Structures are given as C-alpha cells and as structure tokens.
Amino acid sequence: MRDRASVHPGAWWLWSLSLGTAATRTTNPLLLTLLVAVSAYVVAARRPHTPWARSYGAFVKLALAVLLIRLMFAVVLGSPIPGTHVLVTLPEVPLPDWAQGIRLGGRVTAEGVLFALYDGLSLATLLICVGAANALASPTRLLKSLPGALYETGVAVVVALTFAPNLIADVQRLRAARRLRGRPDRGVRGLLQVGLPVLEGALERSVALAAAMDARGYGRTAAVPDAVRRTTAALTLTGLLGVCAGLYGVLTAAGGGYGLPVLLAGVAAALAGLWLGGRRTPRTRYRPDPWGARAWLVAGSGAAVAALLALAVSRDPAALRPGVVPLVAPELPLWPAAAVLLGLLPAFVTPAPDAVPASKEPS
C-alpha cells in the first residue's frame, strides 16, 4: 500500500488555488509579496525530487513576464488613473477620432505606473500559486483521483497535466546535452535549436501516456438507464454553470453577496452529477490516495487564508486595496498578514520529500 504519510494531490491544489483566490482579493503589494513568500517556502520545503516538480521556476518567470507586460502597457498606452507626478513624457502618436480614449505615448505618471504594478502583481501572484500546485502535486496521482464520470476527459487531462512537467524536463535534458557537446544553449539560436525537439518530445510522452491508459481499458462504460444519464447531464451542467458564476462573484468585488452561495450550490449539484455519472464507469484504483488528516490541514489552511482575506476586504477595504491618488506608501495590515501566514502550515504538518519513498510514487 501507499505510504500513509503522503498527502493527497487534491489537497495541494485546493491549498494553492485558495492562496490564488486570496491574491485576487487584494492589491496591497506587501500582502501579495507575503503570499508569494509563503508559497515559495512551502514549495522549497515540500517539493519532491521529481522532474515535474521543477516547473515552479517556469511559472515564476511567466509571472515576471506578465508583470513586465502590464507595466509596458501602462507606459505605452497610458493609464486611466489621473496623476500629477510625471516621470517622463514620451512622443505621442495622434490617433483618429474613432479611437478616443486610447493614446500612444504621452505623459507617464507615477500614479499610473504604480496602479499597473499593483494590478499586475496580483495576477503574477495568482500564476505563482498555480505553479506551486504543479510543483507539489503529482499529475499522475491527481489523475487517479478524478471521479469516474470524468473518464471522457481523462485522456485530455493526462496530456494537459503532463505536458508542462515533461516540457521542463526535456529542456533541462537537451540543454545539458548541448553543453556537453560544446554547443550554445542560450540566446535566440539556442532557443530555436532546442525549442522544436522539446515541444515534440513533451507532446509525444504525454500522448504515449494517454495511449497506454486507453490500452489498459481506461474509460470502459457500463449500461445505465436513460433517466440516469439525463439527470446526470442536467446536474453536471447546472453545477458547472453555478461554479463559474459563483467563482466570478467570489473573485470580483461586485459579486461578494451572491458569489459564495451560488458557488456552494454549484459545487453540490456538480458533485451529485459526478456521483451519478460514476455509476456507468465501474473501476478499481491501484493503491488509492487516502484523504487523511494531513490533507484536511493542508486544504483547510489555504481555505482559511482565502476566507480571512475576503473578510478583511469587507472590513477594511482601504488596507487591502491601497489607493495611488494621492501617492502614498502602502501599509501592512497586521491581522490580514497573520492570516496569510496560516498558509505556512503545510510546511510543518506534511512529511519531508525524503520521508516518502520514491518507490511509492506511481510511474
């Protein structure tokens, strides 16, 4: 049997997505930096020694690229935020009348740049939290935990979840091989010569895994009455629409009143549909991952961070969404910062990577 000390991969995803949800509730750069530090510490302490776990660095680079692009748009295209502290004045390109409200060049103010920095940092933090989930949760083990009703998307999920980790592993392998041969592995030339083999190899490995699952009988169905199929489809569709609407309400300030109830109702309907749909896909799991006390603590710590920051937004919105007009330095609110530190709990309640035998990890 699997080592009982291992943590369910779904718990890591719930933890990281909860931290990402907390990042969308604030634009305070101090709280966002604290969220990044919390996720980075947990990843450094509990990331397993596997190729797919190295994808965290790629997500960090992607987050930095998103932040730089957001700042570049604010500088080149301007910002709707009025400002009086002019940093630089760029040559302005005149635009026709139908393009009113859009400008190219002109004044670049400190207020506009700071607003773009806060906005881009929130999205970058969300991407880093998703990267933490990719580094901590085994994609193969996560796929095993999917409900039987989702077998039809299982092959696509395999390709999607294993493509990015395989991509990172292939990049490192090919760069090491090129260095040993004395060939360049950096710059535009190295990127062009490495890029195509990397993409081809990662996609081939992902498709090979999907084909192996299909050859082993993954997705075989059993006969069920038509009424059960129609009820399953209705519940699943209604639940997914409710989840989408609820998430929109939770992630936006305008939908704070209806977001959580709609989300909970959508999740309940979707779970009921998945339970009914699982009746047509009877299957067994080899060494199933248990959802134990550690999984509850991991998922609960992330949910607590998201809930407490959502509460802080309603209690003190100025602290979590600092303004830029007038231009003032952001302050660190104490109890929301303490709430973010709850996200460090998985680093202390979960086993170290060396404590989980490598032989227990499924291939």
pLDDT tens, position by position, 239-278: 878 888 887 776 665 555 677 788 888 888 887 877 776 6
- Cβ neighbours for 47, distance < 8 A, ≥ 6 positions apart: 53, 56, 135, 136, 353
Domain identity same for 266 and 352: no
Query: Which pLDDT score, from 0 to 100, does residue 281 have?
Result: 60
Pick from 280, 313, 346: which residue ends a domain? 280
Largest CA distance in the chain: 70
Residue 219 has pLDDT above 70, yes or no: no
| Cβ atoms within 10 Å of 71's Cβ, excluding its own | 17
Phi, psi (deg, nearest 5) at residue 80: -70, -10
Average pLDDT over residues 283-289: 66
Domain membership flag for residue 255 = yes
Q: What are phi and psi of 93, to 5 degrees?
A: -95, 120
Query: Does one domain contain both 38 and 100?
Result: yes
At 135, is the pLDDT very low, low, confident or very high (cuts 50, 70, 90)?
confident
Assess whether pLDDT exceeds 60 at residue 361. Answer: no
285 or 246, greater pLDDT: 246
CA distance 151 to 218: 7
- Please report which residue ranges of the chain form alpha helices under DSSP H: 9-24, 29-46, 56-77, 110-136, 139-144, 154-180, 187-215, 226-251, 259-277, 293-315, 317-320, 334-340, 346-349
State yes or no: pLDDT of 362 exceeds 50. Answer: no
Note whether 135 and 245 are same-domain residues.
no
Predicted pLDDT at 356: 46
Residue where the block lists tokens 């009988």: 217
36 and 125 together in one domain: yes
Query: How many structural domains are present in the chain?
Result: 2
Q: Exposed, middle or buried, 206 (CB in 10 Å: 0-12/13-18/19+)?
A: buried
Same domain (yes/no): 24, 120: yes
Q: Has residue 349 got a pLDDT over 80?
A: yes
Contact 75, 181 (CB under 8 A): no
Per-residue confidence (pLDDT) for residue 128, from 0 to 100: 93
194 in any annotated domain = no
Both 244 and 348 in one domain: the answer is: no
In this prediction, residue 339 carries a pLDDT of 92
Whether 114 maps to a domain, the answer reads: yes
Residue 117 lies in a domain: yes
Tokens 């509850």 map to which residue? Answer: 296
Closest CA to 25 of 102, 126, 162: 126
pLDDT at 1: 40
Please check whether residues 274 and 320 belong to one and the same domain. Answer: no
Higher-pLDDT residue of 350, 247: 350
Same domain membership, residue 318 and residue 258: no
Are both 139 and 266 inside the same structural domain?
A: no
How many C-beta neighbours within 10 Å does residue 19 have?
29
Same domain (yes/no): 232, 264? yes
Mean pLDDT, rounded, of the chain = 78
Residue 213 has a pLDDT of 67
What pLDDT does 256 receive? 57
Are residues 268 and 304 part of one domain?
no
On whether the pTM is more than 0.85, the answer is: no
Domain assignment present for residue 207? The answer is no
Q: Does residue 195 lie in a domain region?
A: no
pLDDT at 107: 81
Domain end point (choices 251, 280, 309):
280
DSSP 298: H
Range of 246's domain?
A: 225-280
User: Is 176 inside a domain boundary?
Assistant: no
Q: pLDDT tens-digit profile of 137-194?
A: 877 677 677 666 665 565 566 566 666 666 667 777 777 777 777 766 666 666 666 6
Q: Considering the domain boundaries, does residue 186 fall inside one?
A: no
CA distance 87 to 84: 9
